[in-house]
Amino acid sequence: MGLFDFVSSMGKKLFSKDDDAADSIKAAIEEDNPGISNLGVTFDNGKVSLTGDADSSEAMEKAVLIAGNVKGVSDVDASGVNAPAMTESVQYYTIVSGDTLSKIAKEFLGNAMDYPKIFEANREVIKDANLIYPGQKIRIPTGETSVA
């Protein structure tokens, strides 16, 4: 996995100066502990670069989403993260105005009541299933999901 794009004007505000960005983003990833050891984070002009060793492809994906769903981040480069091959098929989706997790579940999973699968797959970036916002990028698991 390489470069992911995000909406830089949206997201959680973690830093006020670019000098603080890398440390703030690293702390946010480590707080939710997606499973990356030796985590390194750099920030340059809206682009975050991640390095480290991921326990799973899911851990790497979650770190990318945590970093990317930060206001001021336009791109995340995860090519420096060593991760095992993907074990499930994953899509990414950028939330638009009017979306709900139920609506997204109906579209991608075929059943609006499967919204908890999307919520669980994105717990690091969605803290409340009712609080999603346009521009937020999330994972849509299309294979078997394990609820943590």
Same CATH fold assignment for domains 3-82 and 90-141: no
Structurally, at CATH architecture level, domain 3-82 sits in 2-Layer Sandwich (3.30)
pTM of the model: 0.84
Q: How far is CA 45 from CA 71, 74, 75, in A?
A: 12, 9, 10
The CATH number given to 90-141 is: 3.10.350.10
Question: What are the domain boundaries of the chain?
Answer: 3-82, 90-141
The C-alpha angle 145, 131, 77, rounded to 5 degrees, equals 60
Query: pLDDT, tens digit, for every residue of 22-70?
Result: 999 999 999 987 799 999 999 999 999 999 999 998 899 999 999 999 9
